[in-house]
Structure formats: C-alpha cells, structure tokens
Chain A
C-alpha cells in the first residue's frame, strides 16, 4: 500500500518542486538552500500529517463501514460485505429518484453558472465601462448576503413565478449564489491570458467571438473546470433551497433525502450510511478529478483577483 502511495504521489510533484538550481550555482550554496527551506526533518512532516489524516479518514471509514456491514454487526472490519443497505435506500427510500434530481440540479447549475460567469468575467477582464466598478462592488457585497436569510423573499418570488416544486427554482437560486465568486474567479483567469494573443487572432481576421473561442477558451480550461466543479459540488451538497422550494417527495434532492433519514424516529444507521455513500460518490469523483487544478486555479483567480 505504502509503496503504491509513494509511486503515485511522487512523479507528478517532485520535478516541479525540485527544479535544480541553475548550473552556475556552487555546490555549498545549493546545499545550504536545500537545507534552509526544503529539508525539514521527515518526522516533522509525517507525524503531524499522519495525525491529521487519521482525523480526516476515520469519519469516512466509519460511514463506509456502516454502509457495507450487515445490520447488527459490531465488527470494525466490514466482512462479509453486504449491499442490503444500498438496495434499501435506493429502492425503498427512493434515493434513485433523489440521485437523478440532484444530478439534474448539479449539471444545470454547472452549465448555467459557467456560461453566465464566463460572459461576465470576460467583460470585467477585457473592457472598461462605466458601471464596471459598481458591478464589481455589487459582486463583492453579494458575498455577504446569506442565502439562508433570503429564503422568505425567494420563496415568495418562486411562488409568484409558479416555480415552487420545480427543480428550476433550485437551479436558479443555486446559480445566483454561485455567480459572484465564479465571475471573480473567471475574470482572474482571463486576465492571465495575454491580450496580445487575442489581438493576434483579430489581426488574422477572427471575429472577437471566434478569437475568444479559438484562443482564450482552450487556455481557460483548467480554470473553467475548477469553477464548474465548484458550482456542481455546491449545488449537490446544498440543502436549504431544495428543502424549502420543493415540497413533493419525488422532486427532492439527496441532501433532503439524507435529512429525512437522520430525522427518522428509529434511525436506520445502515441506510443512513449507505445514503451518505451515495451522496458522497459523485463529489468525491469530481474532487479527485479537479484536485490538482483547484490549487493553481485559486492562486490564479481568487486571491490575485
């Protein structure tokens, strides 16, 4: 196991960090540099990290354990593995339906957020226009307005639009609350793409839109993936809008389904754990996929803004 971990972890990361000193660097200086900021005693890294890993992974393990362990067992090793809990929540607790609804909401939010934020982000990154500062300010301010506190008026709006009990209401609400941060992030990414690249394409006869699509968009891919998965993960996990705007059971999403399991009078822990695993799988897959872009994405977009 450890060998596998080691092999997986090293190749991608080591070269970037270990970029050797320029050939001119004299050996003693190089040794000193390495010791100064690269050579922490190994145990000072591994020991705290191991402790933190324990804190991170034990809860995950606990959920998995309950999900695949036969009811009534107290063993800490899940053997034999059973799928009874999964079958139960998927069929009887209609997690199959919830899963589908959550997927719909997640993907629709992802697409809407990315498209709208791309347009807005491009405007902020490439143009000067009169209300630009006002718009930026509005984006920042909206970060301080909590979704939970706006439930009442949002509920009224969707009632007037006759969108209560429609997944569309949740998609709109999730998208709106994802937008500000997404626009800020994307405009950061676009600023990192030199304008000269676009200008060169215009000179070659591209329209602004074609130049954007052919030159800028491919360079934005990592950033867009980060923003899009953000939107997906958030709307997948978010609970309150779905709870409040969707009252029919077959319209509900996974977090609401989980909550009904938590609130059940006689808590079926196996079912709860299995539901948790079903809820976790998509976000964990997305996360594993974007993890390496997330860090570069943040340093390019958010903090430097």
Chain B
C-alpha cells in the first residue's frame, strides 16, 4: 500500500525533475569539459593562427611584429628542410600505419581463436601498448646499442658485424625506428579490431558454413565488412597520431642522423621551443593542421564512412 502511494506521488516529482531541471542540467554537465577545451584547445589553436602571421622570435624582440605571409613563404620557398621533412612525415605515416594495420589484423584474428593459453597470450602480446614514447626508446636503445646490443650477439653467431649502430647510419635508421614503433603500435590496432571481432554474431558464420562457404570466403564476406568501420576509424586515428607523435623520434633519433628522420612536428618543436622562433613554428603548425584536416576529410570521403552504415 505504501508502495502504491509512492508510485502515485512520485510521477509528478519525477516529471518535475525530468522536465524543468534538464533544461540547464546538460549544459552544467558539459561545462567543465567545455571550458577546459575552450581555454586549453580552442584558444591555443586560434593563437597559433595568429602567431603564424607574426614575426615572433624571443631571441630577436626588435624584429617582432606583423609579418603577413612571410613565415609561409619562408617554409614553401626558402627552407630546404621543409620539403624533405614533409616527405619523411608522409613516408613515416604510410609505412607505419600500413604495417600496423596488417599485423594488427592478423594478431587480432589469431587471439580471437580459442586455444589453450589464450588469456595469457593476449596479455603478453598486448603489453607493449602500455609502454610508450620514451620507454620504447629506452628499450630499443638497449637493443640497438652498437657494443652491447643485439647486434653483438648476432655477430657472435655470424650475422652482421661488431660495432654496427643502426641508429647512426642514414640507410638503416628508418627501419630501426619503424620497428621500434611497430612494436608498440601493433597492439593498439589489435585491441581495437579484436573488440570489434567479438561483436560479430556467431550465427552469421554458422549460416555461412551451412551454405558451404569456406574460411576465406567467410573472412571476406562476413569479417571484413563487419570490421570496416572500426578499421577506418582506427586507421584514421592512428595516422593522425603517428603524424603528430613526437616522443619516440625525438628521443630515439632526435630527428637525425643529418635530419633524415625529422617529421614536421619534430621540426616545429625544434624551431619553436629550441629555436625560440614562435612565429615560424606557428606557421609550420598551421600547415600541419591544414594537411591533417585535408587528409582526414579526403580519407573519410574516399572510404565513404558513415554513408552506408547499418
């Protein structure tokens, strides 16, 4: 009886809450996040655009002031480093993301199978995901060390020679860096893809095998289409991330030897923070921003993302 009374009394109270309060409540709820993002993302982005049109060099305060497009002209026409850096950035992103996607897909399919020791195998192969940037560098520095690294032990069994440093040779440094980044990048893809693999209804495969479709056909016609959205999203996120990430290359190669592993963000950090040329760094940032935006839109268009969603 008390319960009935409560039910009779409550709806009005309930409606008051859901009716009047929610008008302001959602705004109140997003306010902290919104304000933080306005202050520490939106405002900095706008000021980057503003600085890019200024001469702003802490070490040359007498030359500061409005610059027009000077900084951009300097990048596109005068700075020989700019184009090589851009080319390296593109190569880095394409190679990394392609290899990570391919290996991540295979890895996810593997650990999605049922087998003895699966739990522990998953934990182990995913573990580099937790490790990043400088720690990855630390680990691979130890492996690549010319006198005590892996090459020493490989030389002992007749592979390679003593004292080779893969990080100071312009021919090998790229693949050395790629390998280190793959080590911690593949688990990211694998985890995302595995998460999506598990949401595929099992009866789809059942039906397919009843219809006599072999594993390859099942993969092509059930698994891949189902993974499409996850693959598109994770590829895009990862590409942006690989483009932007500074930690690994900054510490592993420092952009060298001879600048051959300098990406655009690395160049920006060098010009802005170490060279104190904030105006030029901001112009480079604007360029990077436009490239990212353009590539992202193009990618989403080409992959027809969202166009034919279930």
Residue positions of A touching B, CB distance < 8 A: 2, 5-6, 8-10, 12-14, 17-18, 29, 32-33, 35-38, 40, 42, 45-46, 48-49, 52-53, 55-60, 62-63, 66, 74, 76, 116-117, 119-120, 122-124, 126-127, 129, 131-132, 135, 138, 142-157, 172-173, 175-176, 179-180, 183, 199, 202-205, 207-208, 233-234, 237-240, 244, 255-256, 258-259, 261-262, 267, 269, 272-273, 275-276, 279-280, 283-284, 286-288, 291-292, 294-299, 302-304
Number of residues from B at the complex interface, CB < 8 A: 112
Q: Is the CB of B27 within 8 A of A129?
A: yes
Q: Is the CB of A6 within 8 A of B142?
A: no
| Bound Cα distance from A66 to B161, whole angstroms | 21
What's the least CB distance linking B154 to chain A, in Å? 12
Q: Is the CB of B114 within 8 A of A237?
A: no
Contacts of A172 in B (CB 8 A): 36, 40
Q: Is the CB of A148 within 8 A of B265?
A: yes
B195 is contacted by which of A5, A60, A287, A303 (Cβ under 8 Å)?
Answer: A303
Q: Is the CB of A119 within 8 A of B247?
A: no
Q: Is the CB of A202 within 8 A of B289?
A: no
Q: Is the CB of A119 within 8 A of B29?
A: yes
Q: Is the CB of B135 within 8 A of A279?
A: yes
Q: Is residue B93 within 8 Å, beta carbon to beta carbon, of the partner chain?
A: no
B126-140 to A contact mask, C-beta < 8 Å, 1/0: 111111111101111
B247 is contacted by which of A66, A150, A157, A238 (Cβ under 8 Å)?
Answer: A238
Interface residues of B in 11-50 (CB under 8 A from A): 11, 13-14, 17-18, 21-22, 25-27, 29-30, 32-34, 36-37, 39-45, 47-48
Interface residues of B in 263-292 (CB under 8 A from A): 265, 268-269, 272-273, 278, 281-282, 285, 288-289, 292
Closest to A202 in B: B14
B41 is contacted by which of A63, A150, A287 (Cβ under 8 Å)?
Answer: A150
Q: Is the CB of A9 within 8 A of B119?
A: yes
Q: Is the CB of B265 within 8 A of A63?
A: no
Contacts of B292 in A (CB 8 A): 144, 146
Q: Is the CB of A152 within 8 A of B282?
A: yes
Q: Is the CB of B138 within 8 A of A49?
A: no
What's the least CB distance linking B272 to chain A, in Å? 5
Residue contacts A-B, CB under 8 angstroms, 24 given:
A33-B210, A36-B208, A37-B209, A49-B121, A52-B125, A59-B128, A120-B34, A123-B25, A143-B240, A146-B244, A150-B44, A153-B47, A153-B48, A176-B36, A179-B36, A203-B7, A204-B10, A255-B134, A267-B145, A276-B138, A279-B134, A292-B119, A299-B195, A303-B196
B198 is contacted by which of A150, A237, A240, A299 (Cβ under 8 Å)?
Answer: A299
Q: Is residue B148 within 8 Å, beta carbon to beta carbon, of the partner chain?
A: yes
| Bound Cα distance from A280 to B132, whole angstroms | 9
Q: Is the CB of A56 within 8 A of B183?
A: yes
What's the least CB distance linking B64 to chain A, in Å? 14
Contacts of A132 in B (CB 8 A): 26
Contacts of B134 in A (CB 8 A): 237, 239, 255-256, 258-259, 262, 279
A207 is contacted by which of B17, B51, B143 (Cβ under 8 Å)?
Answer: B17
| Bound Cα distance from A154 to B269, whole angstroms | 13
Q: Is the CB of B22 within 8 A of A9?
A: no
Contacts of A126 in B (CB 8 A): 26
What's the least CB distance linking B265 to chain A, in Å? 5
Q: Is the CB of B120 within 8 A of A9?
A: yes
Contacts of A199 in B (CB 8 A): 14
* Residue among A59, A66, A119, A157 with max Cβ neighbours from chain B (10 Å): A59
Q: Is the CB of B138 within 8 A of A5?
A: no
Given contacts A132-B26, A149-B244, A157-B44, contact A205 B10 (CB under 8 A): yes
Contacts of A296 in B (CB 8 A): 195, 198
Q: Is residue B124 within 8 Å, beta carbon to beta carbon, of the partner chain?
A: yes
B124 is contacted by which of A35, A57, A152 (Cβ under 8 Å)?
Answer: A57
| Bound Cα distance from A135 to B32, whole angstroms | 13
Q: Is the CB of A119 within 8 A of B33?
A: yes
B118 is contacted by which of A9, A149, A237 (Cβ under 8 Å)?
Answer: A9
Contacts of B250 in A (CB 8 A): 239-240
| Bound Cα distance from A203 to B7, whole angstroms | 6
Contacts of A53 in B (CB 8 A): 121, 124-125
B33 is contacted by which of A143, A179, A294 (Cβ under 8 Å)?
Answer: A179
What's the least CB distance linking A60 to chain B, in Å? 7
What's the least CB distance linking A173 to chain B, in Å? 7
